[in-house]
Structure 1
Amino acid sequence: MLDQSGIARFAERHLMPDTIHVSRDAGEDVLDPATGALVPGAAVTVYADKAGLYAHQERSRTKGAGLNGAWVEEVLAGYRLLLPLSAPELQVDDSVLIVEARDDQAVGRTYRVTAQGEVSSFPVLRTVWLEEHDRKPVAV
C-alpha cells in the first residue's frame, strides 16, 4: 500500500517552492469616523506559507452569433495553486499574493480563488484554481 504521508512530504518539498499570503475580506464594512463613510473592513490572513503556482490553459470552442456564425476558439489562462494538506480551506474570492517565488516575475502578482479546492479519496496535497488579478509594483 502507498504511504500517503510520504507522498505528501515529497509533494511539499518538490512541488511547493513558493511563499504566498492568502487574505479574505472581513465581510463587514466599518464606519470611518473621520469621513463618516463606510469603508471595507480589514482583510483577514487565511494562510501565509509555502505553495506551488502552476499555469494552466484551457481551450474553448464556441459558435459565434447568428445562424452562420463561425466557430471561435479561445484560450483561457488559469492557474493551479498547490497547497499542503495542513493548509486551511480557501474560499472563492480569497486573494493570493505571491511573496517569494523561484520565478522572479511571479513575485508581487495577485490572484483570485475561482473555485473551492479539489478533494480526493487519496489526498496528498490541495489544489485550488485561480485567475490572475493584478501585479503589485516590486520594490527595487
Structure 2
Amino acid sequence: MDLDAVRQHLESTVMVDTVRISRPTGTPILDVVTGLVGPAPAVLVWEGPGAVLSAHGLGTVERLVGGKWLDDTSSWYGLVTPLAAPLAQRGDRVEVAAAASATAGTVGRVWQVLDPAEASTVEVARVTRLDEITTP
C-alpha cells in the first residue's frame, strides 16, 4: 500500500473543513453581573484542514480508503488532521471554524479532547478522540 497516496487522498477528500484546536490556559471567569461562568482563557494550537467525524463516519472513511487504518474508537467522535498538525492534548477544545458542506452540522458545536492524539510508527493522519461539550 502506498501510504503517501493514502495520506494525500485523506487530505483532499476527507479533511476539507477548517478546524480549530485551542488549549485552555487558565480558570473560567465568573461574570458577576449575570452569575454565569464564561469560557476559560485559551491559546490557539491549530487552525487548518481537518474533519470531525462520528464513529460511523470514521468507519465510512476506512471503507473509502480501502483498508483498515485506525482502531475502533470508544468515543463517539474523532478529529482527523494532517500529520503537519500538532498533537492535541487532553482537555483541548475543538471547533469546526468552517465546513466545506452546507449540511455538515458541525459548525457551532464544540468538543473536548479525551486523550492525546494517537501516534504510531506508521501514520497517514492524526486521529484524536473527542467528546462533545453540551450545554445544560
After TM superposition, is the score higher than 0.5? yes
Aligned counterparts of 1:121 and 1:16: Cα–Cα separation in 2 = 21
Q: Show the counterpart of 1:79.
A: 77
Counterpart-to-counterpart distance in 2, 1:55 and 1:109? 13
Counterpart position of 2:48: 49
Match status 1:15 vs 2:10: no
Gaps of 5+ in 1: 31-38, 58-75, 136-140
CA–CA distance in 2 between the matches of 1:52 and 1:92?
A: 18
The structure whose residues are more often helix, as a share, is: 2
The residue number in structure 2 matching 1:106 is 106
Amino acid in the other structure paired with 1:90: A
Deviation sequence 1:50-73 (CA, Å, 0-9, x none): 11111127xxxxxxxxxxxxxxxx
1:89 aligns with 2:61: no
Unaligned runs of 5+ in 2: 30-37, 57-73
Task: Give, as a single letter, the amino acid of the residue that structure 1 aligns with 2:96.
Answer: I
- Identity within the alignment, %: 30
Q: Computing the radius of gyration over CA atoms, which structure comes out larger, 1 or 2? A: 1
RMSD of equivalent CA atoms: 2.6
- Given the two structures, how large is their TM-score scaled by the length of structure 2? 0.68
TM-score, normalised to structure 1, is 0.66
